[in-house]
Amino acid sequence: MSTKAAAPAPGAETSGDTYLPGHGNGGYRVRHYELDLDYRIGPNRLAATAVLTCVATQALSRFSFDFGEFRVARVLVDGRAAKYLRRGLKLQIRPARSVPAGAVFRVEVRYSGNPRPVRSRWGDIGWDELTDGSLVASQPVGAPSWFPCNDHPSDKAAYRVTVAASSPYLVLVTGNLVSRYCSASTTKWVYERPEPTAAYLMSVQIGRYDDVELAGGAWVPESGAAPDGVVQRAAVPPRLRRPFERDFARQGRMMDVLQQWFGPYPFGEYVVVVTDDELDDPIEAQGMSIFGANHVDGRRTHERLVVHELAHQWFGNSLTVADWRHIWLNEGFATYTEWLWSEESGGESAASLARFWHTRMRSLPADVAIGDPGVARMFDERVYKRGALTLHALRGEIGNPAFFALVKAWAVEHRHATVRTAEFTALADSYAGRSLHAFFAAWLEKPALPRL
Ligand SMILES: [Zn+2]
């Protein structure tokens, strides 16, 4: 079920992705990003330097990054001025000397401008202004809205991000805060993200937020400190503090339960951000989830979204799709975790939710094969719900002990790696002790909805 892309031509402006080949580039891998951002909130003005440490996978006389509409002041490759050209969402670079295959090379890009989201078939995504601050939500192609990158999930790298912004604002970057320097008007925040991270999962959140302890704080009645010490924090507008504290009261317990199911939480801290503006949907970032003001009402109406985003820390963020066609490995697992959590927390059972959604899916056209839904339907509801139904049917097929052992092994064995559907079905075969080929062909490869 997986396809192996042909090796790209030197400097090719393609990732070889079956759905989004124009996003991501060939000829190199990025090992580390160092981003130094100076951001003015009012005028939405960014002045930045990005240093990318890359490894050439072939000899390179030129190469490209994905990059938005910024003014580029200079590009250096290994300290030497390089020629460059901005074309659409690509920054083409021709180094003074070709880079030999296998060499580690360093590219510095100095740039400035007004960051704005990337236009896509899924709307405007990436760096966006809030009423008072900004947010970054990049899945799947928004990362070039704020830094030059190899924008494909199969190229995961480590990051160090420094953001200087006006002092009254809280600045959160996906990573561990390593230092903070305050002057009278400006605060410089330094974050490090050591775990391999796809560019679309990097995020910056800026707002006038309260910094709230989520687990271990006295006000969280049901959580207490997480047993493994995962620090869970939140950034919340002061006006939403009370309803937030009720809606996220079970966050600590949720973290414990998901670790029992899927193995250790893959990152350092877990940070929840609630923006003061409304958002269409919550979104996951690395070690972070972002919710809109409309997802908080003090009645736990949206708790399924809280657990959905947390589940993405394992499925999507730690285990990242090697090609966008495998998207059900993110959304099917996150959606099924909603159903498991519902049952675990005393709500409707997973079986009952599966029956409900199976009936609902039967009323929709059966024209999506969720193992390869097509780019237009990557984020179709059927990929989410039929993905979850596939896992529920698999659980029925192989039984609870094998199913839960499989899911945990899947998350642990592929921790911080990239994944394909064929790898999951092969692992499932080994936990079932037999071939599940016919089962997966029916659920993943054929558009017709199988019986539950
Ligand atoms: Zn999701």
CATH annotation of 1-114+134-198: 2.60.40.1730
Residues, Cβ < 5 Å to ion ligand 1: 331, 334
Which tokens belong to 259? 């670790």
**Given this model, what pLDDT does residue 215 score?**
74
CATH 2.60.40.1730 intervals, the chain: 1-114+134-198
Q: Contact at 8 Å (CB) between 24 and 155?
A: yes
**Given this model, what pLDDT does residue 224 score?**
44
Q: How far is the CA of 189 from the centre of ligand 1 (A)?
A: 29
Q: Which residues of 353-365 are buried (b: 16+ CB within 10 A; e: fewer)?
A: bbeebbeebeeee
Q: Contact at 8 Å (CB) between 200 and 125?
A: no
End-to-end CA distance of the chain: 23
Q: How far is the CA of 169 from the centre of ligand 1 (A)?
A: 28
CATH 3.30.2010.30 intervals, the chain: 209-313
Q: How far is the CA of 108 from the centre of ligand 1 (A)?
A: 34
Q: How far is the CA of 308 from the centre of ligand 1 (A)?
A: 6
Chain segment 197-242, per-residue pLDDT in tens: 999 999 999 999 999 998 743 334 344 444 458 999 999 999 999 9
**Given this model, what pLDDT does residue 1 score?**
39
Q: How far is the CA of 337 from the centre of ligand 1 (A)?
A: 11
Q: How far is the CA of 334 from the centre of ligand 1 (A)?
A: 6
- For residues 99 and 101, what is the distance between their CA atoms, to the nearest angstrom? 7
Q: Which CATH class is domain 209-313?
A: alpha beta
Q: How far is the CA of 452 from the centre of ligand 1 (A)?
A: 23
Q: How far is the CA of 223 from the centre of ligand 1 (A)?
A: 24
* DSSP single-letter state for residue 344: H
Q: Which amino acid is at 130?
A: L
CA dist 11 → 19, 25, 52, 390, 425 (Å):
20, 7, 16, 40, 34
**Given this model, what pLDDT does residue 209 score?**
97
Partner residues linked to 284 by β-bridges: 289
- For residues 275 and 256, what is the distance between their CA atoms, to the nearest angstrom? 25
**Given this model, what pLDDT does residue 100 score?**
97
Q: How far is the CA of 186 from the centre of ligand 1 (A)?
A: 35
CATH 1.10.390.10 intervals, the chain: 321-445
Q: How far is the CA of 360 from the centre of ligand 1 (A)?
A: 19
Q: How far is the CA of 73 from the centre of ligand 1 (A)?
A: 37
CA dist 380 → 73, 179, 327, 332, 364 (Å):
41, 41, 10, 11, 12
Q: How far is the CA of 388 from the centre of ligand 1 (A)?
A: 11
Q: How far is the CA of 384 from the centre of ligand 1 (A)?
A: 8
Q: How many residues does the chain have?
A: 452
Domain 321-445 indexed as CATH 1.10.390.10: yes
Q: How far is the CA of 57 from the centre of ligand 1 (A)?
A: 32
Which tokens belong to 143? 């990362």
- For residues 289 and 302, what is the distance between their CA atoms, to the nearest angstrom? 13
The pTM of this model reads 0.94
Beta strands in 183-296 (DSSP E): 186-197, 204-207, 210-213, 232-236, 270-274, 283-285, 288-291
Chain segment 288-301, per-residue pLDDT in tens: 999 999 999 999 99
Q: Please, which residues have CB within 8 angstroms of residue 223's CB and are 6 or more apart in sequence?
A: 214, 215, 216, 249, 250, 251, 252, 253
**Given this model, what pLDDT does residue 217 score?**
38
Q: How far is the CA of 88 from the centre of ligand 1 (A)?
A: 29
**Given this model, what pLDDT does residue 214 score?**
86
Q: How far is the CA of 331 from the centre of ligand 1 (A)?
A: 5
Q: How far is the CA of 379 from the centre of ligand 1 (A)?
A: 9
Q: How far is the CA of 101 from the centre of ligand 1 (A)?
A: 38
Q: Cβ-count burial of 228 within 10 angstroms (0-12 exposed, 13-18 middle, 19+ buried)?
A: exposed
**Given this model, what pLDDT does residue 7 score?**
52
Question: What residues in the chain have per-residue pLDDT under 70?
Answer: 1-11, 216-228
Q: How far is the CA of 112 from the centre of ligand 1 (A)?
A: 32
Give the H or E element holding residue 35. strand 28-40
> In 291-399, which residue ranges form alpha helices assigned H by DSSP?
303-311, 328-344, 350-362, 381-398
